[in-house]
Chain A
Amino acid sequence: MTVTHDKFGRPIVVVTGMGVVTSLGAGKADNWAKLTAGESGIRTITRFPIDGLKTTMAGTVDFVPVEPFSSTVLGEKLADIATEEAIAQAGIGRKGDFPGPLFLAVAPVELEWLPRQELARATGANTAIDYDALLRVSGGGRFTQYHHRFLFGSVADHLAETFGTKGSPISLSTACASGASAIQLGVEAIRRGEADAALCVATDGSVNAEALIRFSLLSALSTQNDPPQASAKPFAKNRDGFVMAEGAGALVLESYESAVARGAAILGVVAGCGELADSFHRTRSSPDGKPIIGCIKKTLADAGLGVEQIDYINAHGTGTPENDKMEYNGISAMFGERASTIPVSSNKSMVGHTLSAAGAVEAIFSLLTLEHQRIPPTINYDVPDPAIPLDVVPNKARDARVTAVMSNSFGFGGQNASLILTREPV
């Protein structure tokens, strides 16, 4: 008889479908081939003028046309592509009729500059354009579509309608941990017995001028623009910031029982999830490392695994001086002597930081690592940082026996979330 519940008596949660889009391409096959070949998707920005910017490169997804450009529309399209791939692989439900809830990690939606400029033109004025003037032309039905488009719930609304998910769809943001949080919400719903399946999607199409400038003003971005492919340098001594990027990841989660019953191929198991908030600072993590350590501990406890059972860490590894140091401290505190030998790599060295999507994109890459028994590298690792003595799988992919992966996600606002993914139920 198949064991359908974990050692805590909860339904085991498995993954039966995955879809991914990044600056490397659309789909798992293309992404995996390029990721394990050590290719970078980072390029010089052509979407908008880069005059006067300190950072001029990003991991944009330019092969999905959006005209006129809108970050919200791009994010929605990327989510569509990833979700279609995931549902097709899972073979679940019927077209437009997904048998479970939607959990969507999405960048906070805001009215963008193009519509704002369109409104300014509609005022007919060329001086004294202020919000009173904009308000006078906003109503009357001319711009109704911008109300629907720029509601925070608009992307989830679209996905719920397109894929026929059930109930009230949840849009969430835990900043750069959002993708992991979406998966965690799905896992919890299945463990509660509320659903046999959940659709967890994370998407981000945020590379526009203002978003880039906002991160730039916080000195968070790499300014090593030339060549763009070499800008993202997680864990290297010469790292100087993260590289903004776009992408989406979608996962179909199911109870093991329901997946087995319908004969679905099982791609992996979400064995554990954990989160812990940091109250130290809005953009920096606590110098004592306790929140990151606590997050990892909670995740191990949730999975019922010991630290010795983890054999690869898919790092948050943004390439900011601060993140990589703090992440190392957390790993070092938890893994002790093994910290220098356990492989730890950062997908962000190649795809950049897909922000709200990162947690899901990297969970998918972690599951592909389990499937192929091959660890993607950390590229651009030419100058090791003596303060971070990790095996970062430098520059070249490596075959390895991997049974359990920990994937970390940390974000502004004190967000820490980790996942443990395994090939088989533990």
Chain B
Amino acid sequence: MAETSHKQPVEAWITGIGLATSLAEGLDAHWDALAQRRVNVDTTGFAPYIVHPLAPLSFDKQIPKKGDQRQMEAWQRIGTYAAGLALESAGIKGDTEILSRTDMIVAAGGGERDLAVDSAVLNSEAQGDSPAGALNDRLMNDLRPTLFLAQLSNLLAGNIAIVHGVTGSSRTFMGEEEAGVDAARIALARIAAGQSDIALIGAAQNGERKDLLMLYEFGDFNLKDNYAPVFSRGPKGGFALGSGGAFLVIESKAHAQARGAKPFARLTNVVADMSRRRAPGDITASIDKLWAQLGPVHDKAAIITGATGAEPATSEEAAFLRAHADHPARATGTAFGHIMEAQFPLGIALAALSLSRGALFPANDTSGLEIETANAPDQIVVIGAGHWRGEGMALVEAIR
């Protein structure tokens, strides 16, 4: 491995995909679910909020030690599971030599609360039963010591290192949707420049959390009452939080070929920016700019977008899509809900999967933005515009 500043960038391949979402786990099951236009949505459990609950999975299959599972909260279990699937898919699970130099970038949230402890504190304070230090006593006695480790953002990566032995390096990016974009962007930039040979990137979210719903409810971002596809949510819009994890193994072509790995697709470019979003049209302009930076995009390229459903970002992105109406588009939020940091890695994963299977999965939206196509895509552009900040785009290409 040698850095190649100012030299020809190293080509990067996607050689592993791990998906565990509200639809399914594993690639075949996801492909089938997408073909059937399945949507797994819970309209009652968190009513009036709509969430996409995690499909049933047996965590033991990727996290064999119960002790490890107990040390994690749901978001970490989902992520550690999906990361295991990605390593398996790349054929490097258990390969200590490769894992010991695999660079990991996880995009993470964190901060899962103990709802019972919080509620108990708030009730006792409301009843006037709160002398100085009452909060201290409650927290000292009621907080589980291990909860802290489940709240820390970098402990998803920590758990992946412990459970799967990925130890080349461990970095955690935070910052909602854009953290997922930047994880892919930095991993690719490092491989392209010869700073890294192989990387595991991805993210996970447990969307079935009232504390998380609360954060987004402050901004009135949650989809309420009735489910609708992403582009058909009316002027107020909204996103439905989803549970799920998406992880990718990305490596230099030479590294993949040397170990005989079969690629799903090439990760050609990842670009990102952060518009201040001051005026109407700013988000569309930012997406336009990224499209121009991406490199040559052919007329037949498909688009997979992580459009959240939140406004005004989704309408502004729809304006971009209408201006590129000849490109068949698919919004992952319709079937998967919004898995936040994981939405962009999910988009890249579905792009790579589609390219490797020589087909784009069917449209699942009646707004007219998603057109059917029988063409085998050569290129898929992945879009990730955050509900509040950040715009990102990736170009994923077929390897023929």
Binding site for B on A (CB under 8 A): 8-11, 49-53, 106, 108-111, 113, 116-117, 119-121, 125-132, 134-135, 138-141, 143-148, 150-153, 156-157, 160-161, 167-175, 181, 185, 188-189, 191-194, 209-210, 213-218, 275-283, 291, 411-415
- Determine if B214 and A126 form an interchain contact, defined as CB atoms under 8 angstroms apart: no
A156-B175 in contact given A131-B211, A139-B218 (Cβ < 8 Å): yes
Instruction: Say whether B276 contacts A161, CB under 8 Å.
Output: yes
Which residues on the A side are within 8 Å of B168 (C-beta)? Answer: 276-277
Question: In the bound complex, do residue B389 and residue A157 qualify as a contact, i.e. CB atoms below 8 Å apart?
Answer: yes
Chain B: which residue is nearest A150 at the CB level? Answer: B215
B138 CB to nearest A CB, Å? 9
Find out whether the CB atom of A171 lies under 8 angstroms from the CB atom of B179. Answer: yes
Contact A116 B122, beta carbon cutoff 8 Å: yes
- Using CB atoms, name the residue of chain A closest to B118: A116
| Of B23-31, B183-191, B225-233, B324-332, the one with at least 4 CB within 8 A of chain A | B183-191
A281 x B162 contact (CB < 8 A) = yes
Q: How far is the CB of A166 from chain B (nearest CB, A)?
A: 9
- Separation of A173 and B172 alpha carbons in the complex (Å): 5
| Complex-state Cα separation, A118 to B152, whole angstroms | 25
Known: A126-B127, A188-B195, A217-B143. 9 other contacts (CB 8 A): A52-B136, A131-B214, A138-B214, A141-B220, A147-B221, A170-B182, A216-B140, A218-B145, A276-B169
**B390 in the interface (beta carbon within 8 A):** yes
Of all chain B residues, the one with the shortest Cβ separation from A5 is: B5
Q: How far is the CB of A402 from chain B (nearest CB, A)?
A: 28
| B270-298 to A contact mask, C-beta < 8 Å, 1/0 | 00111010000000000000000000000
B43 CB contacts on chain A under 8 angstroms: none
Of the candidates B123, B174, B219, the one whose C-beta lies within 8 Å of that of A109 is B174
Closest to B130 in A: A117
B74 at the interface (CB under 8 A from A): no
Q: Known interface pairs A51-B132, A139-B218, A277-B157. Does A152 touch B140 (Cβ–Cβ under 8 Å)?
A: no
Question: B residues touching A (Cβ–Cβ < 8 Å)?
Answer: 2-3, 5-6, 49, 71, 104, 108-111, 115, 118-119, 122-123, 125-127, 131-133, 135-137, 139-140, 143, 145, 147-149, 151-155, 157-159, 161-162, 165-176, 178-179, 181-182, 185-186, 189-190, 193, 195, 210-211, 213-222, 272-274, 276, 388-390, 392
> Are B155 and A111 in contact (CB-based, < 8 A)?
no
In contact, A117 and B214 (Cβ under 8 angstroms): no
CB-nearest residue of chain B relative to A298? Answer: B169
B133 with A49: CB separation less than 8 A: yes
Beta-carbon contact of B158 and A282 below 8 Å = yes
Q: Which residues of A contact B170 (CB under 8 A)?
A: 174, 275, 277, 413-415
Partner of A167, one of B127, B153, B273: B273
Give the contacting residue for B169; candidates A147, A153, A277, A283; CB below 8 A: A277
Complex CA gap A109/B158 in Å reads: 18
Q: How far is the CB of A392 from chain B (nearest CB, A)?
A: 29
CB distance from A284 to the nearest CB of B (A): 11
Q: Which residue of A lies closest to B127 (CB)?
A: A126
A387 to chain B, nearest CB (A): 27
Q: How far is the CA of A243 from the CA of B145 in the complex (A)?
A: 18
Write the nearest CB–CB distance from A227 to chain B, whole angstroms: 22
Chain A residues, Cβ within 8 Å of B219: 144, 147-148
Give complex CA distance A110, B148 in Å: 12
Query: Which of chain A's residues have a CB closer than 8 A to the CB of B390?
Result: 153, 168
Q: Are B274 and A160 in contact (CB under 8 A)?
A: yes
A194 to B9 Cα, complex, angstroms: 12
* Shortest Cβ distance from residue B285 to the other chain A in the assembled complex, whole angstroms: 15
Flag if B211 contacts A277 (CB, 8 Å). Answer: no
- Residues A120 and B126 in contact, CB atoms below 8 Å apart: yes
CA A192 – CA B2 in complex, angstroms? 12
Residues of A contacting B165 with CB < 8 Å? 279
Nearest B residue to A142 by beta-carbon distance?
A: B218
Q: Could you tell me if B220 and A139 are in contact, using CB atoms closer than 8 angstroms?
A: yes
Closest to B99 in A: A279
Instruction: A413 to B157: give the CA distance in the assembly, Å.
Output: 7
A117-B125, A171-B174, A415-B170 given; A138·B217 CB < 8 A: yes
19 A-B pairs in the complex with CB atoms less than 8 angstroms apart: A51-B133, A106-B174, A108-B151, A110-B111, A127-B123, A131-B115, A134-B210, A146-B215, A153-B179, A171-B175, A174-B170, A174-B171, A210-B143, A217-B145, A275-B170, A277-B161, A281-B162, A411-B154, A414-B162
Asked whether B185 lies within 8 Å of A129 as measured between CB atoms, the reply is: no
A202 to chain B, nearest CB (A): 13
Distance of B151 from chain A, by nearest CB (Å): 7
In the bound assembly, the distance between CA atoms of A209 and B139 in angstroms comes to 9
Please determine whether A129 and B276 come into contact, CB atoms closer than 8 angstroms.
no
Which one of B111, B167, B179, B181 has the greatest number of beta carbons of chain A within 10 Å?
B167
The 10 closest A-B pairs by CB, nearest first: A51-B133, A413-B158, A153-B175, A147-B219, A168-B272, A131-B210, A277-B170, A147-B218, A152-B174, A138-B217
A172-B154 Cα distance, complex, nearest whole Å: 9
For residue B6, which residues in chain A have a CB less than 8 angstroms away from its CB?
A: 193
Which one of B111, B126, B152, B217 contacts A125 once the chains associate, using CB atoms below 8 Å? B126
CA distance A145 to B273 in the complex (A): 23
Q: A111-B211, A116-B122, A213-B139 are in contact. Are A170 and B186 (CB under 8 A)?
A: yes
- A residues in contact with B388, CB < 8 Å: 147-148, 151
Contacts of B182 in A (CB 8 A): 168, 170
In the complex, chain B residues whose CB is within 8 Å of the CB of A138: 214, 217-218
Partner of B123, one of A128, A145, A278: A128
Shortest Cβ gap from B49 to chain A (Å): 8
Q: How far is the CB of B6 from chain A (nearest CB, A)?
A: 6
Give A78 to B211 CA distance when docked, in angstroms.
28
Using CB atoms, name the residue of chain A closest to B148. A214
Kindly report which residue of chain B lies nearest to residue A145, judged by CB atoms. Answer: B218
| B171–A9 touching, CB < 8 Å | no
Alpha-carbon distance between A170 and B135 when the two chains are bound, in angstroms: 34
**How far, in angstroms, from A121 to B272 measured CA to CA in the complex?**
41
Q: Contacts A52-B137, A111-B214 given; indicate if A130 touches B3 (C-beta within 8 A).
A: no
The CA of A15 and the CA of B218, in the complex, are separated in Å by 41
Chain B residues with CB under 8 Å of A113's CB are: 135
Q: With the chains together, A323 CA to B385 CA distance in Å?
A: 41
B276 adjacent to A412 (CB under 8 Å): no
The answer on a CB contact under 8 Å between B153 and A8 is no
User: How many whole Å from A281's CB to the nearest CB in chain B?
Assistant: 7
B135 and A181 contacting across the interface, CB-CB below 8 Å: no
A168 touching B161 by the CB < 8 A rule?
Answer: no
Asked if A131 and B174 sit within 8 Å, CB to CB, the answer is: no
Q: Report the bound CA distance from A117 to B6 in whole Å.
A: 54
Q: Which residues of A contact B145 (CB under 8 A)?
A: 214, 217-218
Q: How far is the CA of A113 from the CA of B214 in the complex (A)?
A: 14
Residues on A with C-beta less than 8 A from B126 are 120-121, 125-127, 129
| Complex contact A152–B118 (CB within 8 A) | no
User: Is B136 within 8 A of A53, CB to CB?
Assistant: yes
Chain A residues positioned under 8 Å from B174 (CB to CB): 106, 108-109, 152-153, 171-173
Q: B186: which A residues are within 8 A, CB to CB? A: 170, 185
Taking a contact as CB atoms under 8 Å apart, the answer to whether A282 and B149 are in contact is: yes
Q: Which residues of B lie under 8 Å from residue A53 when comparing CB positions?
A: 133, 136, 140
